[in-house]
Amino acid sequence: MLETRSIVRRFGRTLALDRVDFRARPGEIHALIGENGAGKSTLVNILAGRLRADAGEVLLDGARLPAGSAARHPRRARIAAVYQSPMLFERMTWEENLALGGYRAGASPRELDAVAVRARTAAAQAGFALPPPRAIVADCSVAARVRLEIVRALSFDPRVLMLDEPTSLLAPAELEIFLAALRRLRAAGRIVVIVTHKLAEALAVADRITVMRRGRVVAELPAAHASAAELARMMIGALPEELRMPPPAGAETPAAAPALTLERATLARDGRRLLDEISLAVRPGEIVGVAGVDGNGQAELVELLAGIVRLDAGRVTPVPDAAHGAVAVIPQNRDRDGLVLEMTLWENLLLAAPVRARFIRRGLIRGRAAQSFCASLLDRFGIRAAAGPAASAAALSGGNRQRFAVARALAAAPRVIVAHDLCRGLDLAAAARVHRRIRDFAAAGGAVLLISTDLDELLECCGRLFVIARGRLIETAAADRDPARLGLLMAGAGA
């Protein structure tokens, strides 16, 4: 049994874990659920030995684990983890990645072949396949990478396997294979801990569920006795009335002239069509969704609309130009493409050309006016920044950064908002608030293109829904509005 006793951990003045008692038993899949910031990842990191607890202890089968031992001696500690952000060496072959794990081998062809044989056996037991020999990890699909990480974790022959939000990157079809693999690991007598904020998943796969809220364990219960509504209530307290979603805005097309039009937009690189004759029109007042597994052209579509790349054929109206400001883009990777982390919030705000234009007089920035505008924006969007507008973007939590990116897009008063993974890193309540803002924007006559891997989000928010697969865009019919059917389309079956 894996057990923690009264674990306490602080980050500065925040109490991330408050006397946490957690128990997971052998032959059990244990889901650890909670909102962002509830302390799930902190707990996993302490169990995995990457963080030290300020107080409390971790026991495995009754024996106390010295702090940090799981990370220093993963084989001896027998706790292995698969982390939220993939921990693979992208430019190495997958065999080399596994050789660096529990197989402890060098990189000679003979050793790598031996690693591959052992890995394929382990993968077959878990029920999945591995990439072709000597494939570079960077060329592998997201699902293949998750599999590689699991096989590498298993190479340590762990008693405990922890998976921190492993499914956030998987398509529905891949998810099934993955959950089946977890069940097989359970059958082999291992302790499987899965961290997630997706209730359906926890209910589908777990035997027991521990719910965390604000650094505390609020409940531990058998999955068979739990309902999604009850779990949601435990995770977030109560969902405020104003955040409950009105039903989606139907599939009928408003009559106004489109605010954004793509006509046979094509983008090729190295002879491959990343965007293949994409045609799409988004009208004022409409939220149009684009579903798809990452890497099917979404990034290129966003770059195109942000004016970063140019079309090889076709047409976009209005011509994408960030300086013009008709289209505001909320990028998927806000830390890389959205914000300059070293700069203050008000400076980041002024990076949006339409906002900047309001605060420049004779070539000089009116700093004080910009700062007070930024302060009012922080206030309106509930963004918590200790130093206010003068705080550096890096000082914000992930959720607050995302809210800031949304706030800035809205502040630019565009006609169109293009959002890629709008609610990445947001918990349920925060996501609901962001959705609310976007809906209000649409209700006031704005056009929204929502590109996401989260089908629930798309089904909830969007009128018309498209699927992007291998650079092609397919419009879905009303009959397709269901995750399983969309999953098939995303895999390219309907194209």
Partner 1 sequence: MLEAFAASTVAMATPILLAALGELLVERAGVINIGIEGAMLTGAFAAIAAAHAGGGALAAVAAAVAAAVAINALFALVVVNLAANQVVAGTAIDLLALGVTGVLYQRIFGATGRAFTVAPMPPIALGPLARIPLIGPALFDQSALVYLAFALVPAIAWTLGRGRFGLRLRAAGERPEAADALGLGVYRLRWIALLIAGALSGLGGAYLSLAYANTFVEGITAGRGYVALAVVIVGRWNAWGVAAAALMFGAAMALQFVLQVSAGALPYQLFLALPYLLTVVVLAFVGGQAAAPAALGEPYVRG
Among 6, 25, 66, 104, binds partner 1 (CB under 8 A): 104
Residues 6+ apart with CB under 8 A from 471: 267, 273, 274, 275, 276, 278, 296, 297, 300
* Distance of closest approach, residue 364 Cβ to partner 1, in angstroms: 33
- 66 vs 106, which CB is nearer to partner 1? 106
In angstroms, rounded to a whole number, what is the distance separating the alpha carbons of residues 23 and 146?
25
Name the strand (E) or helix (H) holding 404.
helix 398-411
In angstroms, rounded to a whole number, what is the distance separating the alpha carbons of residues 77 and 6?
20
Alpha helices in 78-171 (DSSP H): 94-99, 109-126, 142-154
With contacts defined by CB under 8 A, name the span among 45-53, 164-172, 246-254, 305-313 that binds partner 1. Answer: 45-53
In angstroms, rounded to a whole number, what is the distance separating the alpha carbons of residues 278 and 449?
14
Among 92, 179, 203, 491, binds partner 1 (CB under 8 A): 92
- 96 vs 201, which CB is nearer to partner 1? 96
Question: Which of 88, 142, 80, 151 lies closest to 121 in space, CA to CA?
Answer: 151
With contacts defined by CB under 8 A, name the span among 105-113, 298-306, 309-317, 432-440 that binds partner 1. Answer: 105-113
Q: Is 251 in the site for partner 1 (CB under 8 A)?
A: no
Instruction: Tally the C-alpha atoms within 13 A of residue 106's C-alpha that lie toward its C-beta.
Output: 3
Beta bridge partners of 269: 272
Q: Is 169 in the site for partner 1 (CB under 8 A)?
A: no
Q: Is 106 in the site for partner 1 (CB under 8 A)?
A: yes
Among 66, 109, 240, 318, binds partner 1 (CB under 8 A): 109
Among 90, 157, 312, 379, binds partner 1 (CB under 8 A): 90
Question: Which of 318, 320, 298, 317 lies closest to 309 in space, CA to CA?
Answer: 320
Among 108, 121, 333, 376, binds partner 1 (CB under 8 A): 108
Q: Are strands 287-291 and 272-282 parallel, antiparallel or unpaired?
A: unpaired
Instruction: Show the binding pattern over residues 146-165: x = contacts partner 1 (CB under 8 A), - = does not.
Output: ------x-------------
Q: Is 11 in the site for partner 1 (CB under 8 A)?
A: no
Instruction: List the interface residues with partner 1, window 48-87 (CB under 8 A).
Output: 48, 50-51, 71-75, 81, 83, 87
- Rounded to whole angstroms, what are the CA distances from 142 to 138, 148, 155, 170, 294? 9, 10, 20, 7, 8
- 64 vs 75, which CB is nearer to partner 1? 75
**Interacting residues toward partner 1 by CB under 8 A:** 45, 48, 50-51, 71-75, 81, 83, 87-92, 96, 99-101, 104-109, 111, 152
